[in-house]
Structure 1
Amino acid sequence: MKETRKDSNIKTSPGHLSKYNIREFVQRVKNLEGDPHYVAMGLAIGVFIGITPTIPFHTVLAVALAFILRGSKVAAALGVWFSNPITAPIFYWGSYKAGMYLLGNPAPFDIKYESILELLDLGIDVTIAMISGGIILGILPGIASYFITRKIITTIRLRRESKK
């Protein structure tokens, strides 16, 4: 099912990545309230959790972790969308391979699943490998998104202040 935005001719659907979707995402993050560290921390947590193979719990985990680490819960919920139908298979495959390598196990088969519940049915060894691999793979993008987001928000807010 596709819907057309009133302010654009671009048709979007769930999982569809377009310039409009990216701009809308950036606009939402820019307009979040709180100091740049608070917003950037929340987004970084969301990106980190989004890379881990924890569907359907991404948002709940990200918001809970943002609460614990005092980051923006809204930014955390937005950040999990870094994982989407286009990127999730790549993240999950990478998590599995990285986890198997990290644990010293060969990767015996390809994994295809829709949620963490199906992952749990594959066995504890595969589950542990994917979760540990996802944590390892999520660290760098999480850290990078923190610094990028903080810099962008700081710059935008300084420009707004100088125009006043």
Structure 2
Amino acid sequence: MPRRVLQRYLPHPETLRRQRSLRFLRHLIGNPSLWMLSRRSVANAFFVGLFSALLPIPFQMAVAALGAWGLRCNLPLSVGLVWITNPLTMPLIFYGNYRLGAWVLDLPVREAPDRLSTHWIAEQMLDILPALALGSLMAAVLAGLAGSLVIRLIWRWQVARSWKRRALRRRRCQADERA
């Protein structure tokens, strides 16, 4: 079952509660509904995490934690999924979001110069921002919905497979008892 696989990799709430740096979040971390591993809580955590990851904003992990708290979904999964956009992947993802927004708004795509500088980025930001914001929002919603749907389908498939295995085992045991 997916629950067992996820439990192997997720931290235990008590371990996090004992950390000094997270002491101010004790009430949030102590809420048991944020640590449940059910189909709904995991699927919603994927939505929140992927949605937060694809937004070009600072403090994405805080946004994911607040989203997990608001939707009562799995906190560590939603916060951990934010790391899809790490310093290595962020430029590619946000450039793709910009291209998506420019395509939707029917704007010409600005090409980066040979030598990328903060000065160039600051000059171009007002022109880039509408396309980046729209593309990021669209990609965030689509990725969140797709992630949530995929998790729900995988979870359902695993449960159905488990039921079939149990039914087969029961039939074999009954056949052995009769023989």
Higher Rg: 2
Corresponding residue number in structure 2 for 1:66: 68
Q: Distance in 1 between matches of 2:70 and 2:96?
A: 28
Corresponding residue number in structure 2 for 1:76: 78
- Confirm whether residue 95 of structure 1 aligns to residue 97 of structure 2: yes
- Alignment partner for residue 127 of structure 1, among 119, 126, 129? 129
Q: Distance in 2 between matches of 1:138 and 1:70?
A: 19
The amino acid across from 2:47 in the alignment is A
- Alignment partner for residue 54 of structure 2, among 37, 45, 51? 51
Q: TM (normalized to structure 2)?
A: 0.57
The answer as to whether partners of 2:36 and 2:73 remain within 8 angstroms in 1 is: no
Q: Distance in 1 between matches of 2:127 and 2:7?
A: 38
Q: TM (normalized to structure 1)?
A: 0.62
Q: Distance in 2 between matches of 1:121 and 1:69?
A: 38
- Confirm whether residue 40 of structure 1 aligns to residue 21 of structure 2: no
Q: Distance in 1 between matches of 2:50 and 2:112?
A: 25
Q: Per the alignment, in what secondary structure is the counterpart of residue 47 of structure 2?
A: helix
The Cα shift of 1:157 comes to: 10
Q: Per the alignment, in what secondary structure is the counterpart of residue 79 of structure 2?
A: helix
Give CA deviations for 1:24-74 in whole Å, capped at 9, x if unaligned: 989436x952321112101221112212222x3211122222333332222
The amino acid across from 1:145 in the alignment is G
The answer as to whether partners of 1:43 and 1:79 remain within 8 angstroms in 2 is: yes
Give CA deviations for 1:56-103 in whole Å, capped at 9, x if unaligned: 321112222233333222221011122234432221111111112222
The amino acid across from 1:69 in the alignment is L
Corresponding residue number in structure 2 for 1:28: 9
Query: Within 5 Å, which residues of 2 pair with 1:116-155?
Result: 122-153=124-155, 155=158
Q: Distance in 2 between matches of 1:43 and 1:113?
A: 34
How many residue pairs were aligned? Answer: 134
Q: Distance in 1 between matches of 2:71 and 2:54?
A: 18
Query: Percent same amino acid among aligned pairs?
Result: 23
What is the alpha-carbon root mean square deviation over aligned residues? 3.7
